[in-house]
Structure 1
Amino acid sequence: MIHAVMIADATPEPSAGWIMALFGLGMLITYIGVAVERFHKTVAALTGAVVLLVLALLLGVIDEYDTIYDILSHDLNIFGVIIGTGILVDVTSRSGLFHFLSMLLVKATGGRAAALYFAMCGLTFLFVAVLTIVPAMLILSSLVLVICRALDYDPKPFLLSVAICANSGAIVTFASGLPNIMIGTQVGIPYEQFLMVSAPYAFISFLMALVVLRIAFRHSLPWQQTAEEQLALRERINQFDPWALVENRWVLYRSAVILVATVIGFALAQQLGVGMDFIAMAGGTAALLFAGRSVEDSISKVNWTVILFFLGLFVIIGCVKATGALAWLAEQVVHLSQGQIAALVPLLAAFSAIASAFVDNIPVAATLIPVVSQIGAGSLPAEPLWWTVVLGCNLGGNGTPIGSISCVIALYTLKKEVHQNVGWGEFIKLGGSIMTIQVAGAIVYLLLLHYMNWIPALP
């Protein structure tokens, strides 16, 4: 039976069809610029924003220039989260805490290839869940190189596995990935709901990736090592000093306390009546106050290019939304799925994953947020659709070498430091297979939760 679905029109009166098509084309060209390596994605986004804003003013899509400030005002909390967590992670990294934990992990595994491999993948999952994907990958990629060079292991299986496992870690919490932050802040998803809905599947998708990776790299590492080889490894590892990069132990202790307190603050933000941006900025400020030694340098390490990228992206989305094009797209999606959640979830999952694999999950998430908002304003439940976008955008990053910043960092490190190139065909064979399995599992998982009424309602 086909359900009739009315989609509330939260946009101004729709513009003429050619205007909607023009702005849609402008957004598409911008996204192509983001995906093409010869253009910096921030420059592409800012250029697209300037062009579409000028067109919006000339064609009367936006009545006055000040309207753009109203569009951006809804997204200021995202900037606060990025700035606060960026400062916190930089200060914590300088304390030597992450290197200390990693060295303890190496010692605990005895340097054995199999144990160390699974331990590094597990550490990746944990680090990304707590630190977000960019700082975690920068830390882990450097640690992998140091460890592999010291133990004479091929870094390729380690780096590729870390990159792919990172995308599972990115769906654990509200602050683990940028799409989570964008969707969570726009929709008002509580922190604990991420732990209830996406965190269990994050672990499931992590295990899926490990199985495929273990099979793919079965000939790349010495999975079975003799007692003599293990003894030689232990003797070499005993020379490692976990405190080597720790200049001040009290700074390390304070950094650890502030980091844990910030994570707890994220979980309790709604009960405290504050936003995630406040918690992030408070954590960053506390880090600078009690553990920071170079305030100017730590602030400069904030990813300002990502913030400018967001700025341009939000202007583009705002202009396209003002034409009514996104509301029209939402109607077509509902019509295509015949108003059935069982069809909408696979449709959104496939689109968000495939698009994220070739463009970037940030613009994909930014585009889908108003579309899903329009769909959810009708008679369909919005909750399973939001979780579909969260899982699809993050896991889609495994599909291609440019699909996720974790894959980009890993492949760049391999090329620069190890002089190994991984082609598109080789990567898609590995990452694309994992993405397909993970996204298919996500569809089954979310539909099961939906029909069992296990997805909590949004506040």
Structure 2
Amino acid sequence: MEVILATVIFIISYIFIMTEKINRAVVALSGGALLLLTGVYSANEMFMHYIDWNTIALLFSMMLLISITEKTGLFSFIAIRFAQRVRGSPIPLFIGVSILTAIGSALLDNVTTVLIFVPIILKVTKQLSLPAFPYLLIIIFSSNIGGTATLIGDPPNIMIGQAVDHLTFLSFVNHLAPLAIIIFIIMLALMVLLFRGTLTAQKTNIHELMAMDASSFLVKSPMLYQSVFVLVLTLSGFMLHSILHIELTIIALSGAILLLLLTEKEIETEHIFAKVEWVTLFFFIGLFTLVGGLEEVGIIDEMARAIVRSTEGDFSKTAILILWISGLFSGIVDNIPFVAAMIPVIEEFESYGMVYLDPIWWSLALGACLGGNATLVGASANVVVAGLAEGSNQKIPFIRFMLYGIPFVLFSLIISTIYVYVRYLIPYMSQGL
């Protein structure tokens, strides 16, 4: 009975999220409340086991940092300078923001990167009277592809890296970055071809942009220098977290609290808290509770074990199936719980005689990270971008995003299948491991 309840509540909630008739945060939270009322899980289980408070705290902290920094005019300054560098040309701007997002997502993490770049690109597109959707779409795709390339780029990679000791930062770069670069280049070329007709700016707007004094937007007060210092300090902490042995959430939270303390005299804390994207945060909480229902009744775990049964322990079939199942599943729900369920299952493969599991780990990482591009709820970065866009009256339609996301994910998985087969499975079969 509980399995049916959890499944029905999840499906109905997902349909309402897709149709966008009701606020998505309200829908997700309502689904979580129904799971509590029907006894699928207890309040203690929901709050202690299924809501990922580390993710919530990380997002909240970065929103505080970005909100305070935005008050200094720094993002307006960067946006105008960036647009002036490409002389207001929409296509170079499109390519530039995509490359910067991908690099930032690989070196930092994709959620932090989109929190920085989305406010900037929204300001530029408004100034040039350009449609925001193509730029927001390319930011989401680029952030998830860039996040695939490194250990710290996307939460699934962090989880896999923590579970498998010999998979280091350099291991992820060596095995995943080449494919991420290939997919990114193809994706960028396709997106330019798709949107080149709509990405045109009026000459009047370009002239106005080139005549603007970007430095006039900077509020040159102590808060500006404090914001830049703390933001750089926090981002440096993200890059060095594996050396410092400090969790990303702690680094972000410490940076946010430090900046609140430093700027308390210049700006009221209440104003900063009012700028936080609360709808996005509560949507995440609701999404975690919905997926938690599927976890509680064993649906996710059973799906993971069904993979093993369906391939009858065949190594090559298992690696490819995990790639596709994780890719398709991650487009429907957040990839974090699926990866969490899959890790112990893959660890058990050794008992089935599989002594070389690295290709399976890479398949899981590729599927979970790249599959997040399918829908607006497929990855944390997607949800954040949608929330920031909605806050600026540039709402991203769920169905419209899917029309681009699903075909691109299928294409990414085909390329990944070829990559995994050629780089890992052919050598494995030739050596008879």
Give the alignment's TM-score, normalised by structure 1.
0.71
Instruction: Choose which of 261, 267, 272 in structure 2 pairs with 1:298.
Output: 272
Q: Does 1:144 align with 2:118?
A: no
Q: How big is the shift at 1:212?
A: 0.9
Alpha-carbon distance, 1:81 to partner: 1.6
The answer as to 2:308 corresponding to 1:334 is: yes
Aligned to 2:191: 213
Alignment RMSD (CA, Å): 4.4
Query: Which AA in structure 1 matches 2:85?
Result: A
Which shows bigger deviation, 184-193 or 296-305? 184-193
1:226 is aligned to: none
Query: Match of 1:278?
Result: 250
- Alignment partner, residue 341 of structure 2: 370
Deviation at 1:213, TM superposition (A): 1.8
Which of 264, 268, 273 in structure 1 is aligned with 2:240? 268
Q: 1:254–1:356: structure 2 CA closer, same or farther, 3 Å change rule? A: same
Given the superposition, is the C-alpha separation of residues 377 and 306 from structure 1 closer, same or farther in structure 2, using an over 3 Å criterion? farther
SS in 1 for 2:214: coil
Shift of 1:209: 1.2
Letter in 1 for 2:188: L
Whole-angstrom CA distance in 2 between matches of 1:417 and 1:48:
26
Residues in 2 aligned to 1:270 and 1:124: alpha-carbon distance in whole angstroms:
22
Whether 1:87 and 2:64 are equivalent positions in the alignment is yes
Q: Secondary structure at the match of 2:211?
A: coil
Match in the other structure for 1:96 = 73
In 2, the alpha carbon distance for the partners of 1:352 and 1:256 equals 39
The count of corresponding residues between Structure 1 and Structure 2 is 414
Q: Which residue of 2 aligns with 1:115?
A: 92
In the TM superposition, what are the counterparts of 1:265-414 in structure 2 within 5 Å?
A: 265-291=237-263, 293-357=267-331, 359=332, 361-362=333-334, 364-379=335-350, 388-399=363-374, 404-405=382-383, 408=386
1:32 aligns with 2:31: no
The equivalent of 1:11 in structure 2 is: none
Counterpart contact for 1:330–1:374, Cα < 8 Å: yes
> For the Cα contact (< 8 Å) 1:337–1:343, is it kept in 2?
yes
Residues 168 and 250 (structure 1), Cα distance of their counterparts in 2 relative to 1, 3 Å cut: farther
Question: 1:258 touches 1:283 (CA, 8 Å); kept in 2?
Answer: yes
Deviation at 1:187, TM superposition (A): 8.8
DSSP 3-state at the match of 2:246:
coil
Task: Give the C-alpha shift of residue 283 in structure 1.
Answer: 1.5
Post-superposition offset of 1:30: 3.6
Is residue 398–residue 431 contact of structure 1 (8 Å, CA) maintained in 2?
Answer: yes
User: Distance between the aligned counterparts of 1:46 and 1:197, measured in 2?
Assistant: 39
Please state how far the C-alpha of 1:180 moved relative to its aligned partner.
6.3
Distance, in Å, in 2 between the alignment partners of 1:91 and 1:128 is 22
Shift of 1:246: 1.2
Residue 279 of structure 1 aligns with an amino acid whose one-letter code is I
Structure 1 contact 132–170 (Cα < 8 Å) conserved: no
> 1:42 aligns to what SS in structure 2?
helix
The whole-number CA distance in structure 2 between the counterparts of 1:155 and 1:311 is 27
Deviation at 1:160, TM superposition (A): 4.6
Is 1:23 aligned to residue 6 of structure 2? yes
Correspondence for 1:245 among 199, 203, 217:
217
Unpaired stretches in structure 2, ≥5 consecutive residues: 428-433
Name the structure where helix makes up a greater proportion of residues.
Answer: 2
Q: Pick from 31, 36, 43: which aligns with 2:26?
A: 43
- Stretches of structure 1 that go unaligned for 5 or more consecutive residues are 1-17, 224-228, 454-459
| Secondary structure of 1:132's aligned partner | helix
Distance in 1 separating the partners of 2:36 and 2:58: 26
Could you give the per-residue CA deviations for residues 101-130 of structure 1, whole angstroms, max 9, x where no partner exists? 232223333334543332233234355565
Matched-pair contact (CA < 8 Å) for 2:370–2:412: yes
CA distance in structure 1 between the aligned counterparts of 2:56 and 2:321, rounded to whole angstroms: 30
The structural deviation recorded for 1:276 is: 1.9
Q: Secondary structure at the match of 1:302?
A: coil
Aligned partners of 1:88 and 1:284 also within 8 Å: yes
Answer whether contact 1:173 1:198 (CA < 8 A) is retained.
Answer: yes
DSSP 3-state at the match of 1:247: coil
Closer/same/farther in 2, CA of residues 56 and 128 from structure 1, 3 Å limit: same
Cα 1:127–1:240, aligned 2, differ >3 Å: closer, same or farther? farther
Question: Where in structure 2 are the equivalents of 1:53-92 lying within 5 Å?
Answer: 53-56=36-39, 66-68=44-46, 70-72=48-50, 75-92=52-69
| 1:3 alignment counterpart | none
Per the alignment, residue 430 of structure 2 pairs with: none
- What residue identity is the alignment partner of 1:206? F
Q: For 2:114 and 2:394, locate their aligned partners in 1 and report how far apart those are by CA, in whole Å.
A: 18
TM-score norm. by structure 2 comes to: 0.74
Which position in structure 2 is the counterpart of 1:456? Answer: none
User: What corresponds to 2:431 in structure 1?
Assistant: none
Cα 1:283/1:316, change in 2 over 3 Å: same
* 1:132 pairs with one of 105, 108, 112: 112
Deviates more, 1:242-251 or 1:279-288: 242-251
Contact 1:171-1:394 within 8 A present in 2 as well: yes
| Distance in 1 of aligned mates of 2:278 and 2:162 | 19
Quote how far apart the aligned CAs of 1:282 are: 0.9
C-alpha distance in structure 2 between counterparts of 1:41 and 1:167, whole Å: 22
1: distance between equivalents of 2:2 and 2:131?
Answer: 54
Q: 1:452 Cα shift?
A: 10
CA displacement at 1:279 relative to structure 2: 0.8
